[in-house]
C-alpha cells in the first residue's frame, strides 16, 4: 500500500460553489470539510476545477451583495402582504406597498469605492520650498494642488 487514499471527492466541487455562494471563506470551507488550511490550499492547486468553482460561487455572492447595496443606496418599494388562515387555506387579507428610502451611508460607500477620484476623504499635504525661503504648505481635500 502506498499512503492514504485522497480525502477529496468530486462531489465537493459542487458543494464548494454552494458554500462560496453562501459567503463562506476558504478557511471556513476547509473547516466545514474538516481539513486544514494547508490541505485546502493543496487541493486548490491540485484540482483547478475546485478553484474555478470557488471563484464562480464567490462572484455570484459578490454580485448579489452589490445588487442589494445599490438598492439600498437608491431606495426601493416592496409589497407587504398579510394573510389570514381560514379553514385549511391562507387568504390574502391586505396588501400594502411600502417604501424604503435611500440610505445615505450606502450612497457614500458606493461613491467612495466607485468614484474615489471625486469622493475620497484623504487629505494631502504638500510642503515645498528651498533653503533660503520659508516653507509653503498647501492642504487640499480633493487631491488638487
For the chain, give the number of residues.
145
Distance, CA of 34 to CA of 38 (rounded, Å): 12
Q: What pLDDT does 129 receive?
A: 62
Q: What's the pLDDT band for 130 if we cut at 50, 70, 90?
A: low
Q: Which of 113, 97, 28 is nearest to 65 (CA)?
A: 113
Q: What's the pLDDT band for 123 if we cut at 50, 70, 90?
A: low
- Mean pLDDT computed over every residue of the chain: 87
Query: What's the average model confidence in pLDDT over 118-134?
Result: 70
Q: What pLDDT does 17 receive?
A: 95
The pLDDT > 90 percentage for the chain reads 70
Q: What pLDDT does 116 receive?
A: 86
Distance, CA of 132 to CA of 138 (rounded, Å): 19
Q: Is the pTM of this model over 0.85?
A: no
User: Which has more confidence, 8 or 14?
Assistant: 14
Amino acid at each position: 500500500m502506498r499512503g492514504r487514499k485522497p480525502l477529496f471527492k468530486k462531489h465537493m466541487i459542487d458543494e464548494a460553489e454552494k458554500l462560496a455562494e453562501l459567503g463562506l471563506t476558504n478557511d471556513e470551507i476547509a473547516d466545514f470539510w474538516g481539513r486544514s488550511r494547508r490541505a485546502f490550499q493543496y487541493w486548490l492547486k491540485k484540482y483547478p476545477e475546485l478553484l474555478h468553482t470557488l471563484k464562480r460561487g464567490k462572484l455570484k455572492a459578490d454580485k448579489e451583495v452589490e445588487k442589494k447595496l445599490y438598492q439600498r443606496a437608491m431606495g426601493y418599494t416592496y409589497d407587504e402582504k398579510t394573510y389570514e388562515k381560514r379553514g385549511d387555506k391562507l387568504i390574502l387579507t391586505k396588501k400594502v406597498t411600502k417604501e424604503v428610502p435611500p440610505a445615505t451611508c450606502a450612497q457614500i460607500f458606493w461613491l467612495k469605492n466607485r468614484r474615489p477620484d471625486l469622493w475620497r476623504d484623504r487629505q494631502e499635504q504638500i510642503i515645498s520650498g528651498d533653503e533660503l525661503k520659508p516653507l509653503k504648505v498647501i492642504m487640499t481635500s480633493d487631491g488638487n494642488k
